[in-house]
Amino acid sequence: MKDARPCSIAGTLALVGEKYSLLVLREVSLGATRFDQLVRNIGAPRDVLTNRLKRLVDVGVLEKVAYSEHPPRFEYRPTTAGLELEPVLLTLMAWGDRHLNDGDRPMVLEHVGGHGHVGGHELVPVVVCSECGEQVRHDELTAHPQTPGWTVTGPAA
Closer CB to DNA, 148 or 154, in the complex: 154
Largest Cα separation within the chain, whole Å, is 63
Taking CB under 7 A as the binding criterion, the range among 16-24, 107-115, 131-139, 145-153 that sits at the site for DNA is 16-24
Which region, left, alpha or beta, applies to residue 25 given φ > 0 means left and ψ of -120 to 50 means alpha? alpha
Pick one of a second copy, DNA, none as the site partner of residue 42 (Cβ within 5 to 8 A by kind): a second copy
| Prior bond of 71 cis (ω within 30°) | yes
Q: Which of 5, 73, 98, 111 binds DNA (CB under 7 A)?
A: 73
Residue (36 or 84) nearer to DNA, CB:
36
Size of residue set near DNA by CB under 7 A: 23
Could you tell me if 110 and 123 are in contact, meaning their C-beta atoms sit under 8 angstroms apart?
Answer: yes
Rounded distance, CA 55 to CA 60, Å? Answer: 9
Q: Which one-letter DSSP state was computed for residue 134?
A: P
Question: Is residue 74 involved in binding DNA (CB under 7 A)?
Answer: yes
**Of residues 48 and 83, the one with the C-beta less far from DNA:** 48
- Between CA 75 and CA 116 the distance in angstroms is 33
* Span from 73-81, 103-111, 115-123, 145-153 in contact with DNA (CB under 7 A): 73-81
CA-CA distance, 157 to 152, in Å (whole number)? 13
Smallest separation (angstroms) from a second copy to the CB of 66: 19
**Which of 28, 44, 56, 62 forms a contact with DNA (CB under 7 A)?**
44
